A and B are shown apart, each in its own frame.
Chain A
Amino acid sequence: MNQLSEKQHIRRMKRRLFLNRFSKSIFMLSAFFGLFFLAVLLVKVVSEGIGSVNFDFLTGKLSTQPERAGIMGAILGTFWLMLVVAPVTMFVGVCTAIYLEMYAKKGRLVSFIQTNISNLAGVPSIVYGILGLTVFVRVLDLGNIVLAGGLTMSLLILPIVIVASQEAIRSIPFFLSEAAYGLGATKWQTIQRIILPAALPGILTGAILSLSRAIGETAPLVVIGIPALLIPFPGSIMDRFTVLPMQIYYWTLDASLVAEYANLAAATIIVLLVALFVLNSTAIIIRNKFHRVF
């Protein structure tokens, strides 16, 4: 093996160090590319839509005339949709998590259900739309009402809620339940009075994050056939409805026909993003404020 002269060695070393510094800056640019993109997106949406956000727009009815159109119907629709999605997913998700973590014997069945849940999480949302269309709208003949849309959305976000609740329950240390058992509490009493209250912040955080996913999700509702026609404001879960993302969808599609629709779509996006921002910050606050390390 021939040795390097000192000169050669220095040259090589310089090259290696330069490469190191150079690639570091490229890696850094990549990491900040997403943030840059997000900033451009926000600037674009806000600059295009902020002019249309006013009281009349927020409280008005849908209209074919852009200057008179409002999104109260979509806001109410989103509200009613959440009124179905939140309790259903919370209940089913938490019950499933309790079963898997506290009752089920670790074995084939549990790992089957677990695999099944993680597969469900990877199913495209539009497939849930077809499931909802077939089962809720056609077979159960509910039509495109809040209940049908809400149940479809619940199935979609259920895997996320289950996994989050499982993690929350798993993080409760065993000595807490042992203490309860030691005082003579039954299993259900322990779950009900010790484990669930302790796991609640984690469960709530997961639930809120998945709800924000449901609020922004469009594809399943398009498939179910949620209209953006001039329908009356929804007043119960049995009414027809539209939601904010659907409104954005229709206005974006029609933006090439009526240019003002692009502004309305952008304005609706602002409202949607503000709602998501509020939900996400709530989740973070809950996590930080009520999170206890045992």
Chain B
Amino acid sequence: MNIRDMIDQNQRGNSIRRRIERLIPIFLTLIASLSVLTTIGIIWTLLFETVEFFKRVPFLDFFSGTVLKPLSQNPEFGVLPLLMGTVTSSLIAMAVAAPIGLMAAIYLSEYASPKLRRVVKPILELLAGVPTIVYGFFAFTFVTPLLREFIPSLQATNILSPGLVMGVMIIPMIASLSEDAMSSVPNAMREGAYGLGATKLEVTRKVVIPAALSGIIASFVLGISRAIGETMIVTIASGSTKNFTFDLTQSMQTMTAYIVEVTGGDAAAGSTVYYSLYAVAMTLFVLTLLMNLIARAVSKKFREEY
């Protein structure tokens, strides 16, 4: 083979290679657009059926109705009982997760030795890796019977026990995000306060927490978003009674549990019940999206530059 042939061969190889080089970015762009397609897919599926639902049930009736009886003779479609269940369970969860998560974050970031932190943090994150169905099982077969020892009026399915367990599930998320925010507060600020004679608690309360506040608030908002979207724990342990009440010992249904109930049942495609599924899912989607956007805005807007 002479040199001329080798050059020719090389050129031929190059032209294929050049074509590959040109095709690869196009191909990758197509694949990357899948994530945008997913979003469009979610909005598209929810929007069409939701519009169909609001043709049948007036918008105001849906958002102001306190009665949800989708399968009765005269069906009523008020979303407030579901919102009530969702908000109540999320508030209970946050009442557990916010203080404990924050205090755990304070301990890990301010008090614990680096060695201890390296051990405790991953174990804490194991909690977040436990499947939610396992938490549901635990709430239903352990926490509820345990709580009934103290609150005899507690029903077998109630909103209190899944709320509490959901709170425990969210602790690692809040602890981890808040700890990140607090660890990124520069040491010079702490040292300034120590130099003035402050104790560790005072430094934490008056310097570190205010400085990390945006991150801490963002972690709380993300925690709420997580609680709103959580499904299996509430489906199993809070029952399916569409209650509009403040009584925590009662069974209440959340939006997510309603979706599970409707899809698990035999709601015929095209019935109003079927469309109500999408309206509720849309409400859920918008709520969690709002929370996520708020969390992002908070951590961006109030981020202090050091």
Contacts and interface: CB of A to CB of B under 8 A. Distances in A.
Interface of A: 16-17, 19-20, 23-24, 26-28, 30-35, 37-38, 40-41, 44-45, 48, 91-92, 95-96, 98-100, 103-104, 112-113, 116-120, 122-131, 133-135, 138, 155, 158-159, 162, 186-188, 212-213, 215-219, 222-225, 245, 248-249, 252-253, 255-256, 262, 265-266, 269, 272-273, 276, 280
A28 B108 CA distance: 8
B21 A269 contact: no
Contacts of A265: 137, 141
A16 B202 contact: yes
B268 interface: no
A124 B229 contact: yes
Contacts of A27: 103-104, 106-107, 110-111
Contact of B134 (A23, A41, A113): A41
Given A120-B38, A135-B41, A95 B31 contact: yes
A216 B137 contact: no
A219 B137 contact: no
B7 interface: no
A38 B130 contact: yes
A205 B113 CA distance: 27
A116 B289 contact: no
A103 B45 CA distance: 31
B133 A245 contact: yes
B104 A218 contact: no
A131 to B, nearest CB: 5
Contact of B35 (A120, A217, A255): A120
Contacts of B49: 134
B57 interface: no
Interface stretch (B64-72, B119-127, B187-195): B119-127
B302 to A, nearest CB: 18
A106 to B, nearest CB: 14
A31 to B, nearest CB: 4
Interface of B: 17, 20-21, 24-25, 27-29, 31-36, 38-39, 41-42, 45-46, 49, 99-101, 103-104, 106-108, 110-112, 120, 123-124, 126-127, 129-138, 140-142, 156, 168, 171-172, 175, 199-202, 222, 225, 228-232, 235-236, 256, 259-260, 263-264, 269, 277-278, 281, 284-285, 288-289, 291-293, 296
Contact of B137 (A118, A134, A269): A269
Nearest to A103: B25
Contacts of A212: 129
Contacts of B126: 38
Contact of B45 (A99, A134, A248): A134
Given A122-B222, A272-B134, 10 more contacts: A16-B201, A100-B32, A104-B32, A120-B39, A127-B42, A129-B259, A130-B259, A217-B131, A219-B256, A222-B232
20 contacts: A31-B120, A34-B100, A34-B104, A45-B138, A91-B31, A104-B29, A118-B292, A119-B39, A120-B39, A122-B225, A122-B292, A123-B229, A123-B285, A123-B289, A124-B228, A215-B131, A222-B263, A252-B140, A255-B141, A269-B137
Contacts of A262: 141
A130 B281 contact: yes
The A interface is mostly helix, strand or loop, or mixed, namely: helix
Nearest to B277: A130
B273 to A, nearest CB: 14
A95 B246 CA distance: 49
Nearest to A124: B229
A117 B33 CA distance: 10
Contacts of A95: 27-28, 31-32
Contacts of B39: 116, 119-120
B127 A38 contact: yes
10 closest cross-chain pairs (CB), A and B:
A124-B229, A216-B131, A30-B103, A27-B107, A99-B28, A219-B231, A122-B292, A95-B31, A31-B104, A99-B32
Contacts of A34: 100, 104, 123-124, 127, 168, 171-172, 175
Given A125-B231, A219-B256, A248 B25 contact: no
B127 to A, nearest CB: 5
A248 B28 CA distance: 39
Contacts of A245: 131, 133, 232
B199 A16 contact: yes
Contacts of B124: 31, 34-35
Contact of A135 (B32, B45, B140): B45
B260 A223 contact: yes
B288 A122 contact: yes
B103 A31 contact: yes
Interface centre among A16, A17, A34, A162 (most CB of B within 10 A): A34
B38 A252 contact: no
Contacts of A138: 269
A152 to B, nearest CB: 11
B201 A127 contact: no
B123 A131 contact: no
B289 A225 contact: no
Nearest to A121: B292
B236 A249 contact: yes
B104 A186 contact: no
A148 to B, nearest CB: 14
Contacts of B288: 122-124
Chain A CB within 10 A, most for which of B228, B231, B284, B289: B231
